[in-house]
Amino acid sequence: MNPRYPWPDEHLIKAAQDGDVTSLTIVVTESQPHVRKFALSLCASPQDAEDAAQEALIILYRKIGTLRATGALASWMFRIVRNECLRQVRLLVSRSEEVSAAPEAPAEPSAEDAVLRGLEAERVAAAVSALPRDQRQVLIMRDIQGLPGRTVARSLGLSSTAMKSRLHRARATLRRSLEVAGPPVEGDTRP
């Protein structure tokens, strides 16, 4: 915990849950530095982190009444930010799949194919979000967003060689992670 920016105390959170607008505003304001820090550590880029932090703070504002234990605010916000970052990765993965789809592909995939593709996208998104931040950034920028290598290197402040090395490590780590998890099995109904 950062002593300069403490989390809101439990009395303030309880007042916010009870509908006190002033307390709610203070809870959101005091949570903001922590939420931004979570987002920067989990998301691929500062822009994605800013979007995730804003979305998490909106959720906090709207749904603080659903928080069960006032002492669990930090873990609740971390889960919200993590889920928002995962959602952004899923969107990027699905967009890149749409762009790379062949024009001769069937217009309507079967329901089973759609479910399997969705499960695979979830698995890949979770594996990407589990990468270390430096690897996640370069992988998303290069492989998912399709940015040129020089652009990725320049925006991350890396040499081209360092960017390629980091990308190679990210791909290898992702590959190992997906191999360990194994491919989804048709007909498997386990969660």
- pLDDT tens digits, residue range 41-73? 777 778 888 888 999 999 988 888 888 877 788
Beta carbons within 10 angstroms of residue 138's beta carbon: 29
* Contact partners, residue 23, CB within 8 Å, separation at least 6: 12, 13, 15, 16
At residue 140 the predicted structure's pLDDT band, cuts being 50, 70 and 90, is confident
Average pLDDT of the residues in 157-177: 90
Tokens of 96: 């890149």
In the chain, what is the straight-line distance between the N-terminal and C-terminal CA atoms, in Å?
Answer: 34
* Cβ atoms of residues 43 and 83 within 8 Å: no
Q: Please name the residue ranges forming H helices in 101-159.
A: 111-129, 133-139, 149-156
- pLDDT bin (cut points 50, 70, 90) of residue 126 is confident
Q: Which residue has the tokens 């749904």?
A: 63
pLDDT of 184 strictly over 60: no
CA-to-CA distance for 95 and 40, rounded, in angstroms?
A: 23
Please give the Cα distance from 54 to 32 (Å, whole number): 9
pTM of the full predicted structure? 0.52
